Chains A and B, each alone.
Chain A
Amino acid sequence: MRFLSLYRHARPEGVPPSEREMAEMGRLIDEMTRAGVLLATEGCMPSAQGARVRLAQGTFAVTAGPFAEAGEAIGGFALIQARSREEAIEWSKRFLKVIGDGECEIRQLHDAPDCMG
């Protein structure tokens, strides 16, 4: 099964990670790739470059970034193939341990089910 892990950071945006953090993150990504778990991952540019698009009762509302509220801005995502939700949780913990305070929202994705034929 596959999971989307959506990361929201607690620290203010725009603080670049230290070299050490970068190296640790590189190692974790390498480990997850070599374990066959990580299908894709990207980090987001600061939310100032982003926007929110809403449709309410037929009317669009577009809000340009930044989204200042702590824990609101999405920092990145990982697409994970795991055998259980718990395994996805464990990998997300390892990710957070490297990147620091923040939150990962883990969502299972629709997959082709084992099907009768």
Chain B
Amino acid sequence: MTATDTHRAIDAVWRIEAPRLIAGLTRMVHDVGLAEELAQDALVAALERWPESGVPDNPGAWLMATAKHRAIDLLRRDKLLDRKHEELARELADAQDERMAQSDAHLDDPVGDDLLRLVFIACHPVLSLEARVALTLRLLGGLTTDEIARAFLVPEPTVAQRIVRAKRTLAEAQVPFEVPRGAALVERLAGVLGVIYLIFNEGYTATAGEDWMRPSLCEDALRLGRVLAGLMPKEPEVHGLVALMEIQASRLPARAGPNGEPVLLLEQDRARWDRVLIGRGLAALERAEKLGGVRGPYALQAAIAACHARAPDAAATDWARIAALYAALAEVAPSPVVELNRAVAVGMAEGPRAALALVDALVEAGSLRDYHLLPSVRGDLLRKLGRLDEARMELERAASLARNARERALLLARAAACAAAPPTERTDRPSRSTR
């Protein structure tokens, strides 16, 4: 093995072991920032030693033992409380036993518990949303600052500063290293799921930059979601979120045309959907449902995604079920965008007249005034009803509101088609609002 190979191997070991390492150290030193520094010190030691000695048999245990030694040195130097010191020394002695005991780990899983505590610290509400995202990817995803910066198209120093500030905020607020209980858990878990789904969505439909998808970021979010599902197997919404992400990710290969242009859901080549991910998504959805999670917002969205995944082609889509699921979603997570999606589904299930009434109510309410998909959907319904002049005007208005050049071009083309052709000659053009 060359030195470069060894460095790459160490890097891989680090990515696998870092979250557990940092979690275990945080429990000992009660400070995420210090824990990460200690873990990094262990990594530096590995980079010095492993190229000569070779990668040890159990690299995770080696890194943990090394980091714990450093922790004790540091505490000695800082003359911290003797009691704490003794505690650490004992833990160090136990390190070997711990590794042995991991065979029975899942009955009582101390490593998993620490990891879960780390999840809740990284997503703590005292932090800004950007800080939660950065800290989660850094501590739990094992991403470098540079990788996070590239994923979110911000300068690296910005991310580095965000992380430093976040650690300081956590220390100053004396955020306890614990998993919240009872009612707090429900709220805090929703926050954690929100952070993971935000990461996924940034990869799925990038809000900034030239790329409009970054599947690697979707993969990071998926991995975090799966880890969380392993740590909290009885929480239906965790499985709901995993199901939603797995099914949405299954469409990644079909979501871009040959020139990178977006391909809408109903126009995608379903043969390119990833069957492995669909299978995993449906299994996760089933777990959520078995745990009684049929009414959670993520499980509901996953159930909608599953309707598309199960349909062999766009025409076979069970729109009545999708409309019913959107109605249920509107109850637990009311929003005008959900209502607009429900209108699209109703339009497909019952016809344009029923849907137009829902859309007109949204226009009346005025909350989506600058949202291009509202006139886009309305224009589509009007076209199907044969009201072509109105349809053309709505689609042109939608085009003027669209910020993405490709979408604007598509809307203008549809507007022009309304002027040129009678409605019967066109096949139903799906709205972008269901994805």
Contacts and interface: CB of A to CB of B under 8 A. Distances in A.
A115 B204 CA distance: 11
B38 interface: no
Given A1-B216, A81-B223, A115-B256, A33 B230 contact: yes
Nearest to A33: B230
A115 B211 contact: yes
A87 interface: yes
A114 B224 CA distance: 19
Contacts of B223: 35-37, 81
A79 B231 CA distance: 22
Interface string B215-257: 1100110111111001100000000000000000000110110
A116 B277 CA distance: 23
Contacts of B8: 84, 86
Given A33-B230, A81-B223, A90-B9, A114 B211 contact: yes
A112 B253 contact: yes
B227 A117 contact: no
B90 interface: no
B9 A81 contact: no
Interface residues of B, number: 41
A44 to B, nearest CB: 18
Contacts of B85: none
B224 A112 contact: no
Contacts of B276: 39-40, 79
Nearest to B262: A117
A58 B223 CA distance: 45
Contacts of A37: 223
Nearest to A82: B12
Interface of B: 8-9, 11-13, 15-16, 103, 106, 112, 142, 206, 210-216, 219-220, 222-227, 230-231, 252-253, 255-256, 260-262, 276-277, 280, 404, 406
5 contacts: A36-B225, A86-B9, A87-B12, A115-B260, A117-B262
